[in-house]
Amino acid sequence: MRKIADLFYGRGKDDFETTESFELLFRSWTAIGFLPKLPKRIVDIIHQIICWCCIFTCPVWYFAGVIDMMNDLPITILLSNLGVAINCLALPLKAFYIKVNMNHLCDVNLMFKRLDERYQTPQEKMQIRETIKISTRIFAACFTLYAFYCIPSRLLPLFTHEYPQGNRFPFIDWLPEGNLKYWLHSIVEMLYFQYLLQLQCTNDSYPAIYIHSIRTHIRLLTDRVSRLGLDPDLSDQQNYEELVDCIVSHQEILVISNTVGSILSLTTFFQFTVYAALICVCMLNLFIFGDLKTKVSTLFYLAPVIWQTVPTCYQASMLQTDCSKLPEAIFHCNWLALDKRCHKLIIYFMQRSQKDICFTAIQLFVINLRTNLSIAKFSFTLYTFIKQMGLDTHYN
């Protein structure tokens, strides 16, 4: 197991494997209770039970806090807490669906290992190394961005002796008012929020990382196909076997894409739904209710909100571009140097490769940058509608 710094910078003498792109994901999933530690111990089982209780109850505690403080908080803070509560609605749904399909992700890792065995040249190994480096940085960027929002927003209320989020925690809230209740509530709330942030970061990062790995193998296959018929030392039978293996590699990539696509389809749909509501809430605080301090804090919150969907949509859009280059590589390969058996397979291969790998959110939205922009426009339309209702004059 490599160190995180080696994954981040692509350092190390040993050969890298595509599955190392998911190293931080699986470490994080283990830490947040998705994967059992081996060997299993009673402490680890209790840890998993506590984690899943935190996941399934987070919407209850956050919305209970919003409802309880509705008459006491200003509209700006209420909207900020409401945005976090709305984000918590999708957390249990995404977490449960990913947990149910965790075995499929492990099967995908085995398929990537089989694909890696076909690429042994220094240039091909360098592409795999670069993939691991970029995937690690995607996760690190997501974690850093979320932490950049979390630290000041959770610590600043402590200086004014206020609760960081205003959640409701039974047992703790039943204590009499005093320093013990305040600090116990604040510490539990910050630890709880940090756990949910780690959960959100991991589940938001996995689609972009898996799609980027698929992109790498599409590019490797494209380079491999473009070299067909160029080696004069290969016999007709060897060229035929190489072409067949390219087709098999393409079929395995399609299987990986279908497996990953079936998992991220539902989780991305949940995220798109929440994303539209969060953008609208942020714009209300930015342009209607918020003062300068609120606008700055809202901008800090808006950055991780946008990051929840942009990397996935970007990687999906770039995957479609990479897929469009594969038929061109097949057409421009040196097929004249191949025998008639290869000619028939090339026609079949070209027809199969002309269909781009496209991910959808439960068959309703195509996952790409255009859809991400359309949802942002819808949020602005919703914000305009709310503004025309005259809420700014009602609260001012």
The CA distances from residue 152 to 115, 233, 309, 379, in Å, are 44, 64, 23, 27
d(CA 129, CA 12): 10
**pLDDT score of 161:** 64
d(CA 112, CA 17): 8
SS (H, E, C) the chain: CCCHHHHHHCCCCCCCCHHHHHHHHHHHHHHCCCCCCCCCCHHHHHHHHHHHHHHHHHHHHHHHHHHHCCCCCCHHHHHHHHHHHHHHHHHHHHHHHHHHCHHHHHHHHHHHHHHHCCCCCHHHHHHHHHHHHHHHHHHHHHHHHHHHHHHHHHHHHHHCCCCCCCCCCCCCCCCCCCHHHHHHHHHHHHHHHHHHHHHHHHHHHHHHHHHHHHHHHHHHHHHHHHCCCCCCCCCHHHHHHHHHHHHHHHHHHHHHHHHHHHHHHHHHHHHHHHHHHHHHHHHHHHHHHCCHHHHHHHHHHHHHHHHCCHHHHHHHHHHHHHHHHHHHHHHHCCHHHCCHHHHHHHHHHHHHHCCCCCCEECCCEECCHHHHHHHHHHHHHHHHHHHHCCHHHHHC
Maximum C-alpha span of the chain: 86
Place of tokens 């421009």: 332
User: pLDDT tens track of the chain, all 396 residues?
Assistant: 788 888 888 887 778 899 999 999 999 999 998 887 767 788 888 889 999 998 998 888 878 777 777 776 677 777 777 777 888 888 999 999 999 999 999 999 999 999 999 998 889 999 999 999 999 999 999 888 888 777 766 666 666 666 666 667 777 777 777 778 777 877 888 888 888 889 999 999 999 999 999 999 999 999 999 998 888 888 888 989 999 999 999 999 999 999 999 999 999 998 888 888 888 888 877 777 767 777 777 787 888 888 888 999 999 999 999 999 999 999 888 888 888 888 888 998 998 888 888 999 888 889 999 988 888 887 777 777 767 766 555 555
Q: How many CB atoms lie within 10 A of CB 10?
A: 17
Q: How many CB atoms lie within 10 A of CB 238?
A: 11
Residues in the chain: 396
Closest by CA position to 55, among listed 202, 161, 213, 159: 202
Closest by CA position to 97, among listed 362, 291, 387, 386: 362
Structural domain count, the chain: 1
Letter for the amino acid at 297?
Answer: S
d(CA 254, CA 359): 12
d(CA 261, CA 315): 13
Domain interval for residue 316: 4-395
**pLDDT score of 211:** 96
